[in-house]
Amino acid sequence: MDSRLVIYQTIAADETMFDTQSRRSRTFVDREVQGGLLRRIALHWIIFFVCNAIALTIWIRLFEQPDVDWGRTFADTLQRFLPFFVITMALIPAFVWDTLKLTNRFAGPILRLRHALSDVRAGRTVAPLQFRSNDFWHQMAVDFNAIAERVHGTNKSGDDSSATGKEV
């Protein structure tokens, strides 16, 4: 077989592996990873919100109303900055949703890799791993596919080095 044909077929296979445009049916695919990140993002936004509210109250008390009691200063701060507070709180779900969509780009591929590794470990033949074009870690799919092909080829030839603990 012509070596140029083999190289072309390899390149074409790699390109189609990354050209998958289908959308995931689920956005929340890994509760542990995505849930942890979402909780952290929401916590950071809430802390940011509270710190800003405290800073604004202190600023008004120190520089605009030094002889007014703290209760009145807090009420004035709330009245003056209510639109800011509402917008900040309204943005939290938007940022959490965007973070969820971003985490899906690495949680989805890792979930597929975990399932494929489990299949390889169980001795099942695994189809080449394909990530969507906008996912992260495409090189990991290429590396996994090379290893899976090597393991599959080794098992076909009758070499049972995996059972003896030798490196493949």
Q: Is residue 163, in this structure, part of any structural domain at all?
A: no
Q: Is residue 6, in this structure, part of any structural domain at all?
A: no
Q: Is residue 11, in this structure, part of any structural domain at all?
A: no
Tens digit of each residue's pLDDT, the chain (168 residues): 444 433 334 444 444 444 445 565 677 788 899 999 999 988 998 899 999 999 999 999 999 999 999 999 999 999 999 999 899 889 888 888 899 999 999 999 999 999 999 998 898 888 999 999 899 999 999 999 998 888 877 666 655 544 444 443
Q: Is residue 164, in this structure, part of any structural domain at all?
A: no
Q: Is residue 2, in this structure, part of any structural domain at all?
A: no
Q: Is residue 133, in this structure, part of any structural domain at all?
A: yes
Q: Is 86 left (phi over 0), alpha (psi -120 to 50) or beta?
A: alpha
Model-level pTM greater than 0.85? no
How many Å is the Cα radius of gyration of the chain?
27
What domain range is 132 assigned to?
25-153
Report how many domains make up the chain.
1
Q: Is residue 4, in this structure, part of any structural domain at all?
A: no
Q: Is residue 36, in this structure, part of any structural domain at all?
A: yes
